[in-house]
Amino acid sequence: FGRPIGDFQAIQHKLADMYTETEAARNLTYKSAWEVDEGGSPNTMLASMAKEYASRIAVKTANEAVQIHGGSGYVNDFDVERFYRDAKITQIYEGTTEIQKMIIARELQGKGF
């Protein structure tokens, strides 16, 4: 449409959400690591929250990145489609999303895992 795609407000809003949510995921992850560094025993619920949320935001952000790139985001000529797959695996390995949520819920209910 004769102008850079990033000039459209709809795209700018996506970028703002992607950056904000990535920063929130990063901070949750840092908080979890910080508690371990401080010498406390690992906070199971916080670690699961960080793993689940960061994975979810990675997938959401990579999905939006594919969308912003349009057809170029889908084909493997560019790295964007690989970023999506690389994000998706984080919801599967090292404890799936479903298992992380089970851990969070059990900790919330005081049942441990």
Ligand X SMILES: Cc1cc2nc3c(=O)[nH]c(=O)nc-3n(C[C@H](O)[C@H](O)[C@H](O)COP(=O)(O)OP(=O)(O)OC[C@H]3O[C@@H](n4cnc5c(N)ncnc54)[C@H](O)[C@@H]3O)c2cc1C
Which residues belong to the active site?
94
Residue 44, classified by CB atoms within 10 Å of its CB into exposed (0-12), middle (13-18) or buried (19+), is middle
78: left (phi over 0), alpha (psi -120 to 50) or beta: beta
Q: Is 89 in the site for ligand X (CB under 6 A)?
A: yes
Q: Is 106 in the site for ligand X (CB under 6 A)?
A: no
Dihedral angle computed from the Cα positions of residues 76, 23, 56 and 8, in that order, rounded to the nearest 10 degrees? -50
DSSP 3-state assignment of 98? helix
Q: Is 111 in the site for ligand X (CB under 6 A)?
A: no
Q: Is 105 in the site for ligand X (CB under 6 A)?
A: no
Q: Minimum CB separation from ligand X for residue 25, in Å? A: 20
Name the one range near ligand X by CB under 6 A: 3-11, 17-25, 28-36, 94-102: 94-102
Measured from the CB atom, is 31 or 95 closer to ligand X?
95
